Amino acid sequence: MITWRQGLLGLVLLALAGLLLAWSGLIGIGAGSGHWKITDLVLHWAMEQSVETAALSVEEPPELDEPRQIRRAAGHFEASCAFCHGSPLRGRPPLSDRMTPPPPPLTQSAEIWSAAELFVIVQQGVKFTGMPAWIAPERADEVWAMVSFLRVLPGMDAATYRDLAFGTGPPSEADADPVLANCARCHGFDGGTDGGAFPMIGGLPEAYLRDTLQAFANGTRQSGIMRFAAAGLTPDAIARVSAHYASQRPPAAPPGEELTAGLLAHGEKIATEGIPEERVPACGRCHADRPGRNPAFPELDGQAAWYLEEQLHLFKAGARGGGPYARLMAKVVPGLTPEDIEAVAAYYASLPATPQAAATR
């Protein structure tokens, strides 16, 4: 019969043997050899259990299958995911098979994982693989956009994928500038919304665009998509792109759902008068198009309602940085209720961008 002392001694000797084996360098770490079958099974099983448990607390948003959600993430997938996982356009990259474990093709992702489970994987990444966590984990809206895209990817053909990932605009002078061409894949040459998938950036103040790109690049404004896109831009490239989009006049954003007069009236009151009892100043004090307005403040007329709502909620949650004046919004949003945010976003989205502002702001 083995005594507890003998058992403890056996465990100590086993641990020492493991340390000696690791110290010897005899355990190969080369990716080309792959995992032992049992190692692969155990790691994947543990990963499945972890994802399933974490997904229990995840609530799916109602707009998961909206076309704008799918389009919003397509360009980022091509830029940062297709290199390992492949795509309908490029097939499976040969380098993937030399990784341990190899990144799985995503042709069955929507069948294997629920939307909540995909959210966990995209947001948190996976240890012991090359799957990174989302650059800005607090941006759940971006992660859900990627989940929306992954759910339709298995049935997507190459032509559809090309249109989503690279845009459908005609060739233009943007092609002569690689940086601008990269921006135009999502924002178009004119900085429009592409059917409501992206915020309108055409015609925004050059100073605001420059500050915003710099904030994305250095991480002071959180975004997994834009941090990846802006991090490598030089000051000259940021200035060039900002000047270009500031000079554009994009078409109006597509109309959203039918809005009630009461909602718009409530939004207009907040925009023009504020909510004094909640210490919320009138939005127009900073964002109205008028002489003397700080050029680093964006105009909001005609901006997509979903985008304005999203930004205000991010400010309210403390998850929205930005340029040197972003801190001012942190003092404004605490007094706004979700109903206030919906109303003021709907009001500004209902306004047309004035031609004079679009040409100069």
Rounded mean pLDDT, 122-132: 93
Q: What is the tens place of the pLDDT at every residue in 4-49?
A: 888 888 899 999 998 998 888 887 888 877 888 898 899 999 999 9
pTM, rounded to two decimals: 0.87
Query: Is residue 303 scored above 70 in pLDDT?
Result: yes
pLDDT digits (tens, 9 = 90+) for 61-70: 988 989 999 9
* Mean pLDDT across the chain: 89
CA dist list (Å): 234 to 179, 186, 220, 240 = 10, 20, 17, 10
Q: Which domains does the chain have, with CATH numbers?
A: 36-164 (1.10.760.10), 172-246 (1.10.760.10), 261-360 (1.10.760.10)
CA gap 284, 297 in Å, rounded: 11
Residues whose CB is less than 8 angstroms from the CB of residue 251 and which lie 6 or more positions away in sequence, other chains included: 190, 192
pLDDT-based confidence at residue 359 (cuts at 50, 70, 90): very low
300: pLDDT strictly greater than 80: yes
pLDDT of residue 76: 95
**DSSP-assigned letters across all residues of 288-343:** S--TT--TTSPP-TT--HHHHHHHHHHHHTT----STTHHHHHHHGGG--HHHHHH
**Above 50 in pLDDT, residue 361?**
no
According to the model, what pLDDT value does residue 173 have? 55
pLDDT, tens digit, for every residue of 84-97? 999 999 888 888 88
